[in-house]
Structure 1
């Protein structure tokens, strides 16, 4: 078990326990933070859009073509990712993400 750090839309930072093999989207939602994830992790809606701290981007698998297609439907930054496509592993202990604004 490890942790991820999530900054919510009001700027408050939360430290959440994370389990190996879980999607970051699932971890965030299970801890009660306001992240929709309407498609349940199928990479079909972009409602789990997060900004990954720059220092963590190189530790993530590159986005798939499907993820990039979904990210094209919202306003992104260079560090935008869909949290349903990030599977937590011990190598990501301490991962830092920020919830993107709703509708972006």
Structure 2
């Protein structure tokens, strides 16, 4: 499979479905930025800033385990929940087809 579909809920609550290639080794963060979502990604995808924080509303159980760096960064977030992930640490793959993610990095500012 070359493309999957991922649904993204923005800060207004609107959900859009975007197509995502799985053959380019992109991260979810790169996909969100390419689709002009307001993801800062200040650290460039190194799991150091949490400005790409998302909450996986559907499909969380299909994701790989979080690494130590990602878990350490999520632990610093006041709005972290069980389904919190850093989009930079999620490589697009076939298992993510149909997943729903909600942007969460700026939730505290709303």
With the shorter chain as reference, the TM-score category is over 0.9
- What stretches of structure 1 move > 6 A for 4+ residues in a row? none
Following superposition, the deviation at residue 90 of structure 1 comes to 1.4
Asked if 1:89 corresponds to 2:93, the answer is yes
Q: Which residue of 1 aligns with 2:72?
A: 69
Q: What does 1:11-50 align with in structure 2 at a 5 Å threshold?
A: 11-20=13-22, 21-50=25-54
Gaps of 5+ in 2: none
Report the count of equivalent residues.
103
Following superposition, the deviation at residue 101 of structure 1 comes to 4.5
What is the TM-score with the length of structure 1 in the denominator?
A: 0.92
What is the TM-score with the length of structure 2 in the denominator?
A: 0.87
Let me know the Cα RMSD of the aligned residues: 1.3
